Amino acid sequence: MQSYLEQQLKQRQQNALYRTRKTHESEQGTRLFIEGKSYLNFCSNDYLGLAAHPELKTTLQQAVDKYGVGSGASHLVTGHSHEHEALERAFAEFMGTERALLFSTGYMANIGVISALLGRQDAVFLDKLNHASLVDAAILSRAKIHRYVHSNLTQLETLLTKSDAELKLVATDGVFSMDGDIANLPKLAQLSKQSEAWLMMDDAHGIGVLGETGRGSIEHFNLSPNDVPIIVGTLGKAFGVFGAFVVGSELLIETLIQLARSYIYTTALPPALATTLRTSLEMIQLDGWRREQLQQRIAYFRSEAEKHDIPLMPSHTPIQPIVLKDSQLALDISQALYQQGILVTAIRPPTVPQNTARLRITLSTQHEMEDIDKLIAALTPFTHQMPRDDI
């Protein structure tokens, strides 16, 4: 075993695909401390700067005093507290659906939903750039998997028309996690209706960030939850905490409670986190200024990048990738930025398709314009190495 593993790891290293973890010593924010040195952070998903917000810290501390640290059991045994219940009600109201169900993570929510709804005789249709958790969920469900070229809804329509599966589920990211573009939900909703397929959307990067009141991708397009009957949101990104939810009809949620194995066979989220998430949800709903400030950062980054000839993707979300194609080049630039005290992760296959390695820059409400200036200045010496075709 040892020599086999060693060889496998060497191979990864040679292909510039080896992953290492950076250990930091700070709370989340635009500055992270690594070995006592401060780094400007452009790779967190804490888009609204809530992960270390004083009000949320206090809420959690007080909730721990009241409820302790652990939930003690799964939801169906004795792990379900009135704090979980209250949070689910708040999410259903926020999203305008009959019910909501809390999961421990977004990964588990996706796994739970697709494997509960589909079986061998069914089919699932996935965008090629969907998050790994949707792909894994589809595999686990044993349904037939169809993958369409990113955002190619003509191809999706053909696949849907040809399929004679009993049940058909179209599953898409709302905001694509590595490209930052938003799925064409109006068209997806229309296609799904027309083919009698169910539509599921994972809005990990849209929820809290997009829409006037932070209801994410559906609000961005002025759609109702009826258009997208299964919505997953994650709570470790814009919400700044941990966990995930699924919203939909009474019947959908009851089905998940009965059948979603990643809901049933796992310990419930600590109740104090549910309390904290309720405060986080209130802040997301009431404090539109965080979303506005974030949009200003995004616009500023894009206009400065254009001025300095840095090639951008067509993204108007906080995810602003610079595609370099070559994994080694992505690593080299990431390393060069690190030397200058700037954190930007190199994202390489298999997280992204072959030959599309990139720097994935994420912006936060908390970034100052001067932080963005520093990033642009650090990137500018590399512009001649940045590919410009077909991106």
Ligand X SMILES: *Cc1c(COP(=O)(O)O)cnc(C)c1O
Task: Tell which positions 222-241 bind ligand X, by CB under 6 A.
Answer: 234, 236
What distances in angstroms separate CA 368 from CA 43, 51, 372, one per listed residue?
Answer: 15, 17, 7
Task: Tell which positions 7-26 bind ligand X, by CB under 6 A.
Answer: none
For ligand X, which stretch binds (CB under 6 A), given 101-109, 111-119, 253-261, 270-278?
101-109
In the complex, least distance from residue 205 CB atom to ligand X, rounded to whole angstroms: 6
Q: What is the DSSP string of 237-291?
A: STTSS--EEEEE-HHHHHHHHHH-HHHHTSBPPPHHHHHHHHHHHHHHHH-HHHH
In the complex, least distance from residue 76 CB atom to ligand X, rounded to whole angstroms: 21
CA distance 363 to 287: 18
In the complex, least distance from residue 14 CB atom to ligand X, rounded to whole angstroms: 29
In the complex, least distance from residue 5 CB atom to ligand X, rounded to whole angstroms: 26
Nearer of residues 165 and 210 to ligand X, judged by Cβ: 210
Q: Please, what's the b/e burial string for 34-54 (b: 16 or more CB within 10 A of its CB; e: otherwise)?
A: eeeeebbbbbbbbbbbbbebe
In the complex, least distance from residue 105 CB atom to ligand X, rounded to whole angstroms: 3
What distances in angstroms separate CA 329 from CA 17, 49, 325, 353, 385, one per listed residue?
Answer: 12, 30, 8, 16, 8
In the complex, least distance from residue 241 CB atom to ligand X, rounded to whole angstroms: 10
Residue 83 CB burial class (10 angstroms; 0-12, 13-18, ≥19): buried
- Quote helix, strand, coil % in the chain, to nearest 5: 45, 15, 40
Residue nearest to ligand X (CB): 106
Nearer of residues 204 and 330 to ligand X, judged by Cβ: 204
Tell me whether strands 123-127 and 168-173 are parallel, antiparallel or unpaired. Answer: parallel
CA distance 73 to 80: 8
Nearer of residues 351 and 371 to ligand X, judged by Cβ: 351
Q: Which of 53, 84, 205, 290 binds ligand X (CB under 6 A)?
A: 205
What x-and-dash track marks residues 53-92 binding ligand X by CB under 6 A? Answer: ----------------------------------------
In the complex, least distance from residue 100 CB atom to ligand X, rounded to whole angstroms: 15
Q: Which of 183, 199, 204, 260 binds ligand X (CB under 6 A)?
A: 204
Nearer of residues 177 and 356 to ligand X, judged by Cβ: 177
Give the contacts of 32 (CB within 8 A, at least 6 positions apart).
24, 26, 38, 39, 41, 343
Q: Which of 81, 105, 280, 345 binds ligand X (CB under 6 A)?
A: 105
**How many residues interact with ligand X (rule CB under 6 A)?**
13
Q: Are 246 and 230 in contact (CB under 8 A)?
A: yes
What x-and-dash track marks residues 121-150 binding ligand X by CB under 6 A? Answer: ----------x-x-----------------
The residues pairing with 144 across neighbouring beta strands, listed in sequence order, are 123
Q: Are 183 and 192 in contact (CB under 8 A)?
A: no
CA distance 358 to 178: 9
Task: Tell which positions 357-376 bind ligand X, by CB under 6 A.
Answer: none
Q: Take residue 182 and report the two structure tokens written for it.
A: 């938003």
Q: Which of 48, 244, 346, 357 binds ligand X (CB under 6 A)?
A: 244
Is 46 near ligand X (CB under 6 A)? no
Task: Tell which positions 267-326 bind ligand X, by CB under 6 A.
Answer: none
Walk across the sheet containing 230-234 and list its strands: 99-103, 244-248, 230-234, 198-202, 168-173, 123-127, 144-148
In the complex, least distance from residue 200 CB atom to ligand X, rounded to whole angstroms: 11
Nearer of residues 216 and 225 to ligand X, judged by Cβ: 216
| Residues binding ligand X (CB under 6 A) | 105-107, 131, 133, 173, 177, 202, 204-205, 234, 236, 244
